Structure 1
Amino acid sequence: MATVLIPLPHRDYDPSEVAVPWRVLTQARHRVVFATPDGGMAMADPIMLSGEGLDLWGWIPGLRKIPLIGLLLRANHDARRDHAALVTDAAFGAPLRWDALHAGAFDGLLLPGGHCARGMRSYLESKLLKNLVAEFFAADKPVAAICHGVLLAARSQRSDGRSVLYGRRTTGLTWALEKSAWSLTRITRFWDPDYYRTYRETSDQPAGYMSVQQEVSRVLADPADFLDVPKGAPQYGRKASGLVRDSDADDTPAFIVRDGHYLSARWPGDVHRFAREFAAMLPA
Structure 2
Amino acid sequence: MAPTTPKVIFLMADYGHDPTETAIPYAAFKSAGFQISFATERGTKPACDTKMLTGWTQKLLGANQNTLKAYEKMAASLEFSGPIAWASPEFTLDPYNLVFLPGGHDKGVQQVIDSSIVQSHLADYFPGTERHHGSQKAIAAICHGVLGLSKANDPYGKSVLYGSTTTALPGIMEQGIWWATRAVLGNYYKTYGAGSDSVEAEVKKRLNFPDIQWKSSLSPTPFVVEDTMHNYLSGRYPPDAQLLADKAIALVQKIMTPKDENRPGVIKLAPTYESS
- Class of the TM-score when normalised by the shorter of the 2 chains: 0.7 to 0.9
The match for 2:198 is: 211
CA contact (8 A) 1:151 1:212 kept: yes
Residue of structure 2 equivalent to 1:58: none
TM-fit CA distance, 1:80: 1.1
Structure 2 counterpart of 1:280? 250
**1:102 counterpart SS class:** coil
Moved over 6 A (4+): none
Distance 2:105 2:154 in 1: 25
**Structure 2 portions without partners, runs of 5+:** 130-136, 258-276
Instruction: Say which of 132, 142, 158 aligns to 2:138.
Output: 142
2:44 equivalent to 1:40 = yes
Deviation at 1:70, TM superposition (A): 4.4
Letter of the structure 2 residue corresponding to residue 167 of structure 1: G
Provide the TM-score with structure 1 as the length reference: 0.81
- 1:199 to partner: Cα distance: 1.5
- In the TM superposition, residue 72 of structure 1 has moved relative to its aligned partner by 3.0
What amino acid is aligned across from residue 183 of structure 2 in structure 1? I
Residue aligning to 2:188: 195
Cα deviation digits, residues 96-154 of structure 1 (max 9, x gap): 0012321212111000011011x111111101110111122121120000000000011
Q: Which amino acid aligns with 1:11?
A: Y
Query: 1:223 deviation in Å?
Result: 1.6
Partners of 1:165 and 1:72 lie apart in 2 by 34
Structure 1 contact 200–210 (Cα < 8 Å) conserved? no
Residue 26 of structure 2 corresponds to residue 22 of structure 1 = yes
- C-alpha RMSD of the superposition: 1.4
Residue 13 of structure 1 contacts residue 112 of structure 1 at CA under 8 Å; is this kept in 2? yes
Work out whether 1:107 is the aligned partner of 2:97: yes
Partner of 2:113: 124
Q: Which amino acid aligns with 2:248?
A: F
- Equivalent in the alignment of 1:49: 53
* Residue in 2 that maps onto 1:256: 224
Shift of 1:201: 5.4
**Number of paired residues?**
238
Aligned AA (1:269): P
Are residue 7 (structure 1) and residue 11 (structure 2) matched? yes
Q: TM-score, normalised by structure 2?
A: 0.83
Unpaired stretches in structure 1, ≥5 consecutive residues = 53-66, 203-208, 230-239, 245-252
